[in-house]
Amino acid sequence: MKKVIFLVDMESFYASIEVTRNSAYKGKPLVVSGDPNRRSGVILAASKEAKYYGVKNAERLWEAQQKCAHLIIVPPHMQDYIQVSMEITTILKTFTDLVEPYSIDEQFMDVTHSQKLFGSPFEIAQKVQQSIMNQFGVRARVGIGENKILAKLACDNFAKKNTDGIYELQADQLNDTLWPLPVEKLFGVGSRMKQHLYNRGIRTIGHLANTNVEFFKKRWGIHGHVLWMNAHGVDYSPVALSTHEGQKAIGHGMTLPYDYVEKADIHIVLLELCEEVCHRARRNHAQGSTISLSVSGASYEVRTGFHRQFTMPYATNAALNVYKYVCQLFEQFWDGLPVRRLGIALSSLSDGDTVQLDLFEHQQQQDDRQLGEVIDSIKARYGKTAVLRASSLLPAGQARERAAKIGGHYK
C-alpha cells in the first residue's frame, strides 16, 4: 500500500494567532516582531495583508515599516504559540497516531492507514484544515506525498499558492511539476548553496536531478547526496515520534542586546551560557566531552569571529568545568573586536549517570555533580532565577532577561 504523508503548515502562524486574540487586527497589515530597540527587532511573522505590501519574514522591522507606514506591530507571545501548537498536535492525533512535530508551525502526519476511516487523502486534508480553523481560526496548508520530502516540497512550493491550500506531489510527475522550479526552491538549498550551484550552471531542480550523483557526493559529501535524493523525491525516513531523541549535541546561543567590547563582560555571558547548556545536559541525563564555542562579530558587512571546539580530558556536565575550557578557546581565538553573538555547544555525548573517575580530582568531580543537581532541583521548584551567580547581577549579565523568554522572545 502506497504511503500517504502530510506536511501540515500553519499560515502566518504567530500573526494568525494574534488576529484571533484581537478581532480589531482582522484585515489589517500586522507583523509579529521583537523589540525594535534591540537586535530582536526582526519580523517573525507577517499577515497576508502585510505581505501584500512586500513585507517578508526575517527582515528588519525598520525595513518593513518603510514598505508599509501603517503597519501594526505586535510583540511575540511565545508561550501562547507553543500552547496552540501542542493543541494542534492533539487535533492531528485524532486522525492518526503517527504525528511528528517538525517545527512550531509544521507537523508531519502518516495517514496511510486512516483512509478507511476518514476518506481519501484530499478529504482528510480538508477535515484537518477545518478542524484547525474551527478551533483556532488558523488556516493550515497541507502538502501530500508518499514520503516526507515530497510532502514538504508539495507544501512549500504548491499548497501555499493554491486557493484550497492543498497539493499532492506525485513522484512520477516530478519532471512536469518540481523540476522546472528554480534550484533554490529545493529543500536544503540555502543562499550559499544556491550560489555554488548557479556558478556550475545548475539553475533548476531538474538540472540538479539530471546531474550525476557522484559530482555532488565528491563535492559536498553526504549533504550533496541528500540534495540529489531530494530532487528525485527520495526519502526513506518514516514519520516517527522519536525523531528528536538521541540528539548529538546540546547547545545554547544568544544575540547580545548591544555590542560587547570588554572581555570581562563577555566572560559573564559565557558563564551563563555554560550554566544553561549544562543544565540541559543534566536534564537529559547526558554529559559531553567536546565543547564548541561560536563568536560572531558586530559588523554585518565584514564577517568576524570564529567557531572552534576542544575535546576535554573527560566527559562532564558541570558548568565550571565547561567554562574553564570555553575561556581557553575564547582567549586563544578572540580577535579583540566587538562581539554581537555567542554560542556554546556540548557534544560527544554519553550517559550522564556514568562517571569516568579522575585519580586526583575525584572528590571535586563528585562535589560539582552534586552542586549541579541541587541547583537544578531549586530552579525546578522556584524558577530559573531562584539561584544565580553573582556575576549575573552585573550590568552585562543576561540570565534574568533570558529567564523571562522562550526561544529568545518574551513569553
Return the sign of the alpha-carbon dihedral for residues 286, 292, 298, 302.
Answer: negative
Show the cell assigned to 286: 547526558
Q: What are the Cα distances from residue 28, in Å, to 46, 84, 202, 266, 311?
A: 11, 22, 40, 42, 53
pLDDT of the residue at 300 = 65
Question: Which residues fall in the annotated binding site for Mg(2+)?
Answer: 9, 105
Cβ contacts of 248 within 8 Å, gap of 6 or more:
347, 349
* Cell numbers that stand for 192 in this block: 550559499
pTM over the 0.85 mark: no
- Read off the C-alpha cell for 30: 500586522
Q: Which residues contact 288 (CB under 8 A, 6 or more apart)?
A: 249, 250, 281, 315, 316, 317, 346, 347, 348, 349, 350
Distance of alpha carbon 39 from alpha carbon 254, whole angstroms: 11
Reported residue count of the chain is 411
pLDDT at residue 238 in the model = 92
Domains of the chain: 13-76 (3.40.1170.60), 249-410 (3.30.1490.100)
User: What's the pLDDT tens digit per position in 138-182?
Assistant: 999 999 999 999 999 999 999 988 899 999 999 999 999 999 999
Nearest in space to 142 (alpha carbons), one of 166, 172, 161: 166
The residue ranges of the chain whose pLDDT is under 50 are 244
> Mind telling me the catalytic residues?
106
Burial class (CB within 10 angstroms; exposed 0-12, middle 13-18, buried 19+) of 285: exposed
Rounded (10°) CA dihedral 367, 371, 374, 375: -170
The Cα–Cα gap between 329 and 345 comes to 13
Long-range contacts of 174-182 (CB under 8 A, 24+ apart): 174/209, 174/232, 174/233, 175/206, 178/153, 178/205, 178/206, 178/231, 178/233, 179/204, 179/205, 179/206, 179/209, 179/231, 180/204, 180/205, 180/206, 181/157, 181/205
Report the DSSP beta bridge partners of residue 204. 182
Query: Which strand ranges, in their side-by-side order, compose the sheet holding 286-297?
Result: 249-260, 339-351, 286-297, 305-316
Helix/strand/coil (H/E/C) assignment for every residue in 307-331: EEEEEEEEEECCHHHHHHHHHHHHH
Q: Model confidence over 182-232: pLDDT tens digits?
A: 999 999 998 889 999 999 999 999 999 999 999 999 999 999 999 999 999
What end-to-end distance do the CA atoms of the chain give, in Å? 44
